[in-house]
Amino acid sequence: MTTREIRPTVLIILDGWGVASDSEGNAITRAFTPYYDEICRRYPRTLLNAAGVHVGLAEGVAGNAELGHMNLGAGRVVKTVFSRIQDAVVDGGFFDNSVIRAAIGSAVSRGSKIHLVGLLSDADVHSSMENLYALLRMAKRDGASEAYVHAILDGRDVLPRTADVYTEALEIKIADIGIGKIASLCGRFYAMDSSENWERTARAFTMMVHAEGERASDPVTAVRSSFLRGISDEFISPIVIESSPGVPVATVADGDLVIFFNHRADTMRQLARSIAVPDQGLVTPSAKPRVEAVCLAEYDRAFNLPVAFPPRHERGGLADAFDANSVINFRISETDRFPHVSSFLNCGLEAMSPFEQHIEIPAGDTSNRETEPEMRSFKVTDRLIRKIESDPSAVFIVNYPVPGLIAETGNLDRTIEAAQYIDTCLGGVLEKIREVNGIAVITASHGNAESMIASNGEPDRLATPNPVPFHIIDESSAGVGLRTGGSLQDVAPTLLGILGIQAPEEMTGRDLRR
């Protein structure tokens, strides 16, 4: 296989590394970051929009890691599957979706139970409550006598200790629509694990299938009881709701229909696999019910499950440009963010080209990120440096998730530590880049760590709409200027320009270099 000869070029993506004025809650400016400070002083720098309409969201809505990587890889503002679903709900097309209608119709004709599984949140990062409500309306319209909601509790993309509010809102909407019962509750820590910690997924699975977990008769009271015990939304243990003492409202059984309504793939993949994919997952086939399943979006092509809104691969992105020009490119991150530097950066494409090589660093214990704020950053850095040494004529795309993931804990001190660990990693990477006469481009997928204290003085764990930095480190290109007013879509054409490659015509982003 003939490959293109290029200087070693590294694209470093820092999750949650936004830019804001210095403040008590800004973990980035409060951290001791001598290497990053040197980068800001010595090399070209500009700010990029990473939220709102600039990345395909509504005006003022904070960005996120998934969407950030999609825009970085596409070189244009990406219309997400969430946007497509949202548009379909608004224009009515959702209610005529052939995949959903066929599944509901089949369940009604069989007299089977209908289960709706997903995150109870209005942050729209992983799911939308409007989509859940639309499914309830469809079930009622198409003749279902009942539908059972297995609600996953958020507290990460929305404020903590609000799960009772969302649960109560669902109950009110259920009464308004005239169909629906909450069958179970579970924090996303268990039900939406994406680090292959199957013990957590098993907790959610056995709750839904075998009614294992705490028992409660009233969902809202059950959530508030967890709060009183010091357990916040995402960490709430599986709770089985009972219709009468000892009798669960509903469990998932043979012949039932299960509709997974999350639109984001990475955090629903394990649960969907455990429940709906034969001979796969954490349980034996004998313990797994034979169900009909529908996924609102595609979680994994290998599942071979019906998908209501299948992916539309955005052609002409960074991956296609690398392929067309025979550029070897390595994708490096730890497990939590590996889908971001692979399928998300490739705009949803799961297949790997011959020029793309993956290096996934296994995650450590993620049960309490605050105890290990560096996560696997040093292992990621070590593998990156060794790859630069062994395969210098390549592009290396590396993601460091810790600024964003540790900021999501709300622990400011640990996030400051995380920023300092990342600074040390940057120092090591840049030393190697200079040694091999390479190029480094540094940016971020979204903001978070730069604003961690809310206006009421409480910890703020949510992503922000703040801009993110963009730097070019190239000792042989002194004097290069960078324009202002850019966004994440401009990174791919800039990177290709640095490599001397013509950007695909599908890219609407523009080279940031003047």
What is the chain's pLDDT, residue by residue, as a tens digit (514 residues)? 678 889 999 999 999 999 999 999 999 999 999 999 999 999 999 999 999 999 988 788 899 999 999 999 999 999 888 889 999 999 999 999 999 999 999 999 999 999 999 999 998 889 999 999 999 999 999 999 999 999 999 998 898 999 999 999 999 999 999 999 999 999 999 999 988 889 999 999 999 999 999 999 999 999 999 999 999 999 999 999 999 999 999 999 999 999 999 998 889 999 999 999 987 556 655 689 999 999 999 998 889 999 999 988 778 999 999 999 999 999 999 998 898 999 899 987 776 789 999 999 998 765 666 667 888 999 999 999 999 999 999 999 999 999 999 999 999 999 999 999 999 999 999 999 999 999 999 999 999 999 999 888 989 988 999 999 999 999 887 778 999 999 999 999 999 999 999 999 999 999 999 8
Cα–Cα distance, 335 to 308 (Å, whole number): 27
CATH superfamily of the domain spanning 82-309: BPG-independent phosphoglycerate mutase, domain B (3.40.1450.10)
| 334, 324 contact by CB (below 8 A) | no
Burial 90-125 (b: 16+ CB within 10 A, else e): eeeebbebebbeebbeebbeeebbbbbbbbbbbbbb
Please give the structure tokens belonging to residue 431: 């030393």
What would the DSSP string read from start to end of 160-172? SS-HHHHHHHHHH
Give the angle subtended at the CA of 8 by the CAs of 35 and 14, to the nearest 5°. Answer: 45
| 466, 28 contact by CB (below 8 A) | no
Per CATH, which fold does 9-78+314-498 belong to?
Answer: Alkaline Phosphatase, subunit A (3.40.720)
The residue ranges of every structural domain in the chain are: 9-78+314-498, 82-309
Residues whose CB is less than 8 angstroms from the CB of residue 92 and which lie 6 or more positions away in sequence, other chains included: none
Selection from 114, 100, 143, 152 nearest residue 249 by Cα: 114
Taking the chain, what is the end-to-end CA distance rounded to the nearest angstrom? 35
Q: CA-based Rg of the chain, rounded to a whole angstrom?
A: 23
Strand-pair category, 114-120 with 257-260: parallel
pTM: 0.78
